[in-house]
Chain A
Amino acid sequence: MNFESELKKGNLVISECIDCKKITWPPSEFCNQCLKETSWRKCSDLGKIIEFSKQNDIYFGIIQFENSIRIMGKIISGNPEVGKTVQVVECGVSDSEYVLKMKVVEE
């Protein structure tokens, strides 16, 4: 199991240290704090918009998950604003690029 093989199956996973419990990002077999081994676990599918812009009719932005990791992806529905919550609707690997599509969760 690794990050990319899980992402190919549509699962967003993160690497958490088996010892100090810190999350290492980008995902890695080893913790970048204490250098011990990490284990993989599912990441929350709810994230927060840190910043965003728009190309043609598609919004893209930096999304933060679990108050820790940040990924760029597409925001395919809703009206994005900094600080709003988004939910992952699709993730995977296409042409060796990571794909992340989200929708805004209106509160």
Chain B
Amino acid sequence: MDKVAIAGYGITKFTKDDSKIESVLLNSSRNLFRNSPNLTQKDIDAVLVSSNNNSKYLSAILSEISGIQPKIAHTVESLCNSGTNSIVAGYSYIASGLADCVLVSGAERYDSPGQILEWDKFRGEFKHPIFWASIFSKAYKQKYSIKDEDLALVSVKNHKQSINNPNALSQKEYSISDVLNSKKLTDDLRLLDCSRPCTGGASILLTSEEVCKNFTDSPVWITGIGQKTTSASFTKNLTFDNMESTKNAAIRALQMSKHSVADVDVMELHDAFSVCEPMALDSLGMTQEGKGMDMVKEVYETENTKINPRGGIIGSGHPLGATGIAQTIEITQQLQSVAGKRQVDNAKIGLVHNMSAASTSSTVLVLEN
């Protein structure tokens, strides 16, 4: 099986702009071409688009407006982990020998239809994601004796870290009391505990080992992949204080990379809501069950930015189809030591955790330089 490299990337600023989805896709792809001077349209074998937008055949449209005539072109849609799932699809084309060079582009608008799940009717009138997040928060707090002010630290940390991310939606710091005093959505969730939908795009160039040297001197390798889908309905989660699909995906991604969780130097976690960060740390095996919040406190107090250095989803914003790709770009930049003010010292092994539909599906990637 061929090795697969990340050989280039491009991203847009995440905003509340009312841009056309096609423009958002093209903008991050143009940035990718600008960052990869040796890359031409003819080099690209496959164009994969990650989006929950209702527009059809966006990969053909992106190919047309960017002057590419790919062998393979299609959309990948799986709600909030569409981004990493499209990277896995691109990886598979290269590893199988069907393609050498794949453009993966994710984009979403602030009003994405991916935020409400029509299938999951058994949430009744409680379909909005804030309700599953409230149930997760309540269950996690209860089980591990964690308080609202503890969870608020996730939001404080990630908003603070997003200040150094010029593409982030949020450029403002908040205190614990700001989070606790922000609008109360339910008894277990405040407005500042939530990531926000936004408009944004992120593109990545995947290549075979042989081709990557044409485009970059510092490739980053995808060495571990784990995916798991347990169901399509929130209430089918067996428990509400951990992420079963994440546990499963993490074990397999780490096994494939031949690393242990302790080897990971830097990670982007799917903090759609504050509670998701400590839960993800538990479920990935970074900490013992219920100790995720201790790890968040420790990194915050020691000014260690290895968890969500770009500000995570809470700080950066959540353009669903672009999120997993933006997370992967961040880890790529960290492993190339080009993350500027966000740089984590001596990062060699990185991890991406991207999930969807109230953690009923998770994707975990391990990256190495």
Residues of B within 8 Å of A25, CB to CB, are 122, 236
Residues of B within 8 Å of A60, CB to CB, are 126, 131
Does A97 lie within 8 Å of B186, measured CB to CB? no
A interface residue numbers (CB < 8 A to B):
25-26, 50-55, 60-62, 70-74, 82, 94, 97-100
Residues of B within 8 Å of A94, CB to CB, are 125
Question: A50 CA to B271 CA in the complex, in Å?
Answer: 24
Does A62 lie within 8 Å of B125, measured CB to CB? no
Does A71 lie within 8 Å of B122, measured CB to CB? yes
Say if the beta carbon of B138 comes within 8 Å of chain A.
yes
Does B127 lie within 8 Å of A97, measured CB to CB? yes
How many A-B pairs with Cβ below 8 Å? Answer: 65
Given contacts A70-B235, A72-B235, contact A51 B138 (CB under 8 A): yes
Question: A61 CA to B187 CA in the complex, in Å?
Answer: 12
Least CB distance, B128 to chain A, in whole angstroms: 10
Residues of A within 8 Å of B187, CB to CB, are 53-55
Does B122 lie within 8 Å of A98, measured CB to CB? yes
Does A26 lie within 8 Å of B233, measured CB to CB? yes
0 or 1 for each of B174-186: is its CB under 8 Å from A? (1 = yes): 0000000000011
Say if the beta carbon of B167 comes within 8 Å of chain A.
no
Given contacts A60-B131, A72-B235, contact A53 B188 (CB under 8 A): yes
Say if the beta carbon of B124 comes within 8 Å of chain A.
yes
Question: A61 CA to B233 CA in the complex, in Å?
Answer: 15
Does A99 lie within 8 Å of B236, measured CB to CB? no
Given contacts A54-B186, A55-B187, A62-B235, contact A70 B122 (CB under 8 A): yes
B interface residue numbers (CB < 8 A to A):
119, 121-127, 131, 134-135, 137-139, 142, 185-189, 233-236, 240
Does A51 lie within 8 Å of B240, measured CB to CB? yes
Question: A24 CA to B148 CA in the complex, in Å?
Answer: 37
The residue in A62, A70, A73 that gathers the most chain B C-beta atoms within 10 A of its C-beta is A62
Least CB distance, B300 to chain A, in whole angstroms: 26
CB < 8 Å neighbour of A52 from B124, B138, B189, B235: B138
Residues of A within 8 Å of B131, CB to CB, are 53, 60, 72
Does A99 lie within 8 Å of B240, measured CB to CB? no
**Dominant SS at the A interface?**
strand
CB < 8 Å neighbour of B121 from A52, A53, A74, A98: A98
Does B124 lie within 8 Å of A73, measured CB to CB? yes
Residues of A within 8 Å of B240, CB to CB, are 50-51, 62
Question: A33 CA to B366 CA in the complex, in Å?
Answer: 34
Residues of A within 8 Å of B134, CB to CB, are 53, 55
Residues of B within 8 Å of A61, CB to CB, are 135
Does B235 lie within 8 Å of A53, measured CB to CB? no
CB < 8 Å neighbour of A62 from B119, B135, B186, B189: B135
Closest Cβ neighbor of B120 among chain A residues: A26
10 contacts between A and B (CB under 8 A): A26-B119, A51-B135, A53-B131, A53-B135, A53-B186, A60-B126, A71-B124, A71-B235, A98-B125, A99-B125
Does A55 lie within 8 Å of B235, measured CB to CB? no
Does B233 lie within 8 Å of A72, measured CB to CB? no
Least CB distance, B30 to chain A, in whole angstroms: 41
Least CB distance, B160 to chain A, in whole angstroms: 28
Least CB distance, A30 to chain B, in whole angstroms: 16
Question: A79 CA to B124 CA in the complex, in Å?
Answer: 21
Residues of B within 8 Å of A72, CB to CB, are 122-124, 126, 131, 234-235
Does A97 lie within 8 Å of B236, measured CB to CB? no
Question: A73 CA to B235 CA in the complex, in Å?
Answer: 11
Question: A99 CA to B127 CA in the complex, in Å?
Answer: 12
Residues of A within 8 Å of B142, CB to CB, are 82
Least CB distance, A11 to chain B, in whole angstroms: 16
5 extra A-B contacts, CB within 8 A, seeds A50-B240, A72-B235, A97-B121: A25-B122, A51-B135, A53-B188, A54-B186, A70-B235
Least CB distance, B349 to chain A, in whole angstroms: 36
Question: A74 CA to B123 CA in the complex, in Å?
Answer: 10
